[in-house]
Amino acid sequence: MLSTHAAGGRFRGGALPWRLRPRSCLASPPASSGGGKPEKERPLLVERYRDGVTKRYMSDGNSKLQIRLEKHESPVKGVEDENVDSLIPQAIRDFVLPAGFPGSVTVDYLEYMLLQFPTNVTGWICHVLVTSSLLKAVGVGSFTGTSAAASAAAIRWVSKDGIGAFGRLLIGGCFGTLFDDDPKKWRMYADFIGSAGSIFELATPLYPGYFLPLASLGNLAKAVARGFRDPSFRVIQNHFAQSGNLGEIAAKEEVWEVGAQLLGLSIGVFIMDTAGVKSSYLTLTSTWLSIRLLHLWLRYQSLSVLKFRTINLKRGRILVRSHVAQHTVPGYVVCNEEENILTWQRFLHPKISFGVPIERMLGGEESSDKVNRLLKLYKNEKYVLFVEQFGSKEPKFLVAFKEAATSMSVLRSLWQAHWLQKNQQNQDVVFSWLEDSILALEDGFTDFLEQMERAGWDQNQIILKVPKEPILMLEHLD
């Protein structure tokens, strides 16, 4: 986590309190007095990682940079300051508990989940037993005769479900932090993945000997899709509950969903009863493909009408780009219409990488001068931004975050990166370009926030996550 000492306030009156010059101006501080002896080795900053690794940047007194790796016994905690006294290993905590636990949930969360777990275990045991009975009822074995066939079929069926459930386990444990940021995208991708699962299931009549692996793959894909679908839709339901009526919203959603289910089952039975579908596998698959494509198109249309007031990375980019280019901030309705649901962040422009080690910003340079200049330039910010590929056709912006960084820090770095993209300069001194962007940020960001508020955006709902690592710790700056 990064602590900084703010030296001085904001720039006032348009005058530069200091101006970056070539390296000699911001070289390491002069050697201590005492007969011209070289300066002793001194620390500059530290990067800490959650696995306990510390990367320490040192100046040897001759403007030469040294980087030391250190390993600590106890893991370094992330921005969310986890409970050190917990007996739960860090890896398990990250997998099964929400980020920031226990501070991010209510006090009764863990006790409820510990009781809910055995409750669900007993429920699934009952499911296995009932499955065997259902299969016997449709003619697979019987209670009066041999039940081996029904038991074997039940085991295969339940095994298929178990393999599928493993996909939901992975999604919930490894990707739980994704859904608050961009529920539209993950809800759409859930349908894509579910469609892929249906393809495996459609292939089972062609290869009946491979029923279990094909059905298991199909169920796995569908379970992964459900792992993306359910959390995403809960975020969407919470968006609808403007009056705090989340329970009622969920209940009415059941009415809509069950109504659609009954109608869809009726139409599906009618289609299956037609002569062409019953007699031709090709007709069956063609019909499925046509209806599935219609389903995906309708899903995209339904997600496109959502109008979120929260600010994620996509909508944040749209807002800052508009303000930097036109000095206006679009309202949430216009912004949501402009937002591309399917686009990945890596394909957006300008290219920005968050959570980058300082070593990458140095680009192989071994001089401590550059580190000093970066720290001095960003002494009033909770992040450090530098440019990779400066002078090329499209620069890439690298951002590292300090200990006290917040979502607002991410938004400020986003604004600065878009200003740099718009005001590219054909010059060799990148620091002068960065300094101009800092001045523009100081002058323009307040107006940006004011326009956001007037446009109807909720500044308390800025969902821009600060990367968990590395975390910058400032150790020395003259």
HSE toward the beta carbon, residue 364, CA cutoff 13 A: 1
Percent of the chain residues topping a pLDDT of 70:
67
* 477 confidence band (pLDDT: 50, 70, 90): very low
The pLDDT confidence band at residue 7, using thresholds 50, 70 and 90, is very low
In this predicted structure, what is the pLDDT of residue 68?
A: 77
Quickly state the pLDDT bin for 75 (edges 50, 70, 90): very low
* Per-residue model confidence (pLDDT) at position 5: 39
Of the listed ranges 52-66, 216-230, 403-417, the least confidently predicted one is 52-66
The more confidently predicted of residues 384 and 393 is 384
User: Which of 33-42, 186-195, 414-423, 430-439 shows the lowest mean pLDDT across its residues?
Assistant: 33-42
For residue 445, give the amino acid letter: F
- Does residue 371 have a pLDDT over 80? yes
How much is the pLDDT for 382?
Answer: 92
Of 106-115, 209-218, 312-321, which has the strongest mean pLDDT? Answer: 312-321
Reported as type and span, the H/E element at residue 471 is strand 471-474
Count of CA atoms in the C-beta half-sphere (13 A) of 249: 14
Q: What is the pLDDT of residue 409?
A: 93
Cβ(465)–Cβ(407) under 8 Å?
yes
Residue 302, pLDDT above cutoff 70: yes
Across the range 220-230, mean pLDDT stands at: 85
Average pLDDT of span 55-72 = 76
- Whole-number pLDDT of residue 59: 77
Beta-carbon contacts of 283 under 8 Å, excluding residues fewer than 6 positions away, are 276, 277
444 has pLDDT over 60: yes
The CB density around residue 200, as the number of other CB atoms within 10 Å, is 19
Residue 143: predicted pLDDT: 46
**pLDDT one-digit tens code per residue, 326-364:** 999 999 989 999 998 888 877 888 889 998 888 888 877
Rounded to 5°, the CA angle 56-58-64 comes to 135
Residue 417 has pLDDT above 90, yes or no: yes
pLDDT of residue 134: 55
Mean pLDDT of 225-253: 83
Task: Give the per-residue pLDDT at 316.
Answer: 93
**Mean predicted lDDT score pLDDT of the chain:** 75
**Banded model confidence at residue 28, pLDDT cuts 50, 70, 90:** very low
Q: DSSP 3-state assignment of 193?
A: helix
- Is the distance from CB of 82 to CB of 88 less than 8 angstroms? no
Q: CA nearest 351: which of 384, 396, 381?
A: 396
Partners of 384 in the beta sheet?
400
**Greater confidence, 377 or 252?**
377
8 Å CB contact between 332 and 316? no
